[in-house]
Amino acid sequence: MKTKIIGGTVLTEGELRRAEVLFDETGILAVGEKTGEADTVIDASGKYVLPGLVDVHVHFREPGFEEKETIRTGSAAAARGGFTTVLPMPNLKPVPDSVETMRKELEIIDRDSCVHTLPYGAITKGEAGQELADLQGMYDLGIRWFSDDGVGMNDQKLMAEALRFSAEHGCIIACHTEDLSWREPGASVHEAPYAYEHGWKGIPDECESEPLANDLMTAAKAGGYYHACHISSHKSVEVLRAAKMAGVNCSAEVTAHHLLLENTDVKGTNWKMNPPLRTHKDRMALIEALEDGTVDFIASDHAPHTVFDKAKPMSQAAFGIVSLETSFPLLYTHFVKDEKRWTLEQLIAWMSTLPCERFGMNDRGEIAVGKKADIIIADLDTEYTIDVKTFRSKGKNTPFDGARACARVIRTIAEGITVYEETGEEHAD
């Protein structure tokens, strides 16, 4: 069935212009002033028509931790946040480290996901860092990215083996860089005077930057496609920049919360994430690194937890916040509308086009003829207040409850099918 979007301002070919978009389930058929007949017409007057967002780092918790999130609820949250493609991490039960366990996850995704959900396989068996998982078997199933996210993988011999596989097969090795020898038990926030003032144990920059430096040295020798997850420290930016200048095939992501918040914003466990919020110097280094291309794009690290998980002392509460439903609105509001530091085109590149380019998803990330019909329609003017009670995610663990925002996703379309449409109840303002 052919559908046409009319009246909107469309981001196409890298610029914003008034245009129609004609599409069906097979893809985008035409973009222009007049695009032909359609079975259904969507009026986007006064709204913006944008490529569906792409998030290469989410946690959907299923199988194994369905009390926190499921594929169904996680993908619904993604759709509401404007994400049409998401890549869930493998810290699950069972860990998807073989053909059998990966098939189980893929079956759930095929049954329950309303957006493109393309999972990571584990790099090592059980994410234990002792022996490589069945990378070839999972690759033959169509898996094109591997990670031991949630766990630092610090055996450089295994890292070299994984990267050589990456080089041979053109797949991504994505790493959560963390060396627990730098982190005391119970440490929960960035190591700084603010932590000591509140009686919290701190996590130093080196917990992230030192293993990252080691990984990048291995990548320089072994080749392959290395990707650093959720960079948070100015020291990590420095080693990443040096590696890129030396020609290492590497990329990195930064989260919305590390771009928006600092360690002195922490008020409780809903501000506890791993890596932690760091200093103003770190936050500015991340922003500048994103702008100069040292850090490649933005990911959410959506990490839902139960109320019980967070209703503990800071030293014991779970790390992580939910962010699929808040990342785009908050980044647009802060950096595009208020600060006017970024353009909408830049933000969409970092949240759609560039992750697609790095991860080889060349059939999406743009509104162009032949691309997948993955599209969002957004109201970028009407202000509202973020309210966790409206979240589609099971997780309500966010520091942004009550925050002001002005970018609302009105409709999300994945492969030509509307998977989210605002009902009017989401934003009471």
Catalytic residues: 301
The CA distance from 169 to 342, in Å, is 36
List CB contacts of 292: < 8 A, sequence separation 6 or more: none
Query: Is residue 92 within 8 Å of residue 105, measured between CB atoms?
Result: yes
The CA distance from 420 to 300, in Å, is 19
SS3 annotation, the chain = CCEEEECCEEEECCEEEECEEEEECCEEEEEECCCCCCCEEEECCCCEEEECEEEEEECCCCCCCCCCCCHHHHHHHHHHHCEEEEEECCCCCCCCCCHHHHHHHHHHHHHHCCCEECCCECCEHHHCCCCECCHHHHHHCCCCEEECCCCCCCCHHHHHHHHHHHHHHCCEEEECCCCHHHCCCCCCEECCHHHHHCCCCEECCHHHHHHHHHHHHHHHHHCCEEEECCCCCHHHHHHHHHHHHCCCCEEEEEEHHHHHCCHHHCCCHHHCCCCCCCCHHHHHHHHHHHHHCCCCEEECCECCCCHHHHCCCCCCCCCCCCCCCCHHHHHHHHHHHHCCCCCHHHHHHHHHHHHHHHCCCCCCCCCCCCCCCCEEEEECCCCEECCHHHCCCCCCCCCCCCCEECCEEEEEEECCEEEEECCCCCCCC
The CA distance from 225 to 250, in Å, is 6
